Structure 1
Amino acid sequence: MSLKGPIISVEDDEDDQYLIKDVLRELGVSNEVLFFSHGKEALDYLLTTPEQPFLILCDVNMPMMNGLELHSQIFHSEFLRRKAIPFVFLTTAANKKLVNEAYEQSVQGFYQKASSFEGFKRQLQYIIEYWKGCMHPNSFSY
């Protein structure tokens, strides 16, 4: 995890992409935000980029490769596991089964999107502040 690395948003809804971008701008987050419409697109990027992303924010229900499938691919890739990129689900779809599946894969967070702008803004603020202050395997330079 690089505090200055890009935030990866895997979200197929363009309105939600706009909302995420707008909220992060309002919060003063200076990290570049890269948007991907489905998991396959994000996975291709993650497997080929030399960048060390700061965080992955991912929807669950998407075409081609859903969020759980993406997280599983990341979890089973030694290359991506070594990058230790925090992976947080941020989705409207939330139920006990999905949450259990996500945590069985060792996801680092699962949030149901707040229904109000201010609530959503608070969620993103908490997520960003937590990961900016968290010790992490890639926090140390050797």
Structure 2
Amino acid sequence: MLNSGPIILIEDDTDDQELIGKAIREVGMSNEIIYLDNGADALQFLVTTTVQPFIILCDMNMPKMNGIELKMRIDENKELRKKSIPFVFFSTTANKMTVNLAYTKMTVQGFFEKSDQYKELVRTLKIIFDYWRESIHPNS
């Protein structure tokens, strides 16, 4: 996998952006972090960039375009699907209905609940990044 590509963090809360960014560094990830605060801007970035991202971490509830809408638009776009970018929901909205929708209506590769406890946040991010550094998929 292209482990050196940027980490795309789609999160509308600037405090959460800062905290997640700090936790990403704490787990040893030195990748560039690209912060986007809504799904519409994220989609525009993904459609226009020539960079191969390492992973997308996406919140659910955002202005302009939420995480579900964004992932559905990515899945509909042939060029973005070819990029095979790992897409993980990382959100406080982790109810059964939302999780079921994510796994049955789109090609999401993970759904993790964002903890408000920093230590737990670091632990979860470590699990996510360790998995994707080892995983074999089209970008390997």
The alignment's TM-score, normalised by the length of structure 2, stands at 0.97
Q: Which residue of 2 aligns with 1:106?
A: 107
Q: Write the letter of the residue equivalent to 1:124.
A: L
Q: Which residue of 1 aligns with 2:76?
A: 76
Could you tell me how far 1:137 is from its partner in structure 2?
A: 0.8
Could you tell me how far apart the structure 2 residues matched to 1:72 and 1:2 are? 24
Q: Which residue of 2 aligns with 1:119?
A: 120
Matched ranges for 1:5-84 at <5 A: 5-84=5-84
Percent identity, please: 51
Unaligned runs of 5+ in 1: none
Q: Write the letter of the residue equivalent to 2:137.
A: H
Per-residue Cα deviation, 1:67-112 (whole angstroms, up to 9, x for no partner): 0000001111110000000000000111111001100112100011
The alignment's TM-score, normalised by the length of structure 1, stands at 0.95
- Residue correspondences, number: 139
Could you tell me how far 1:5 is from its partner in structure 2?
A: 0.4
Unaligned runs of 5+ in 2: none
- CA RMSD between the two structures: 0.8
Q: Which runs of 4+ in 1 moved over 3 A?
A: none
Could you tell me how far 1:38 is from its partner in structure 2?
A: 0.2
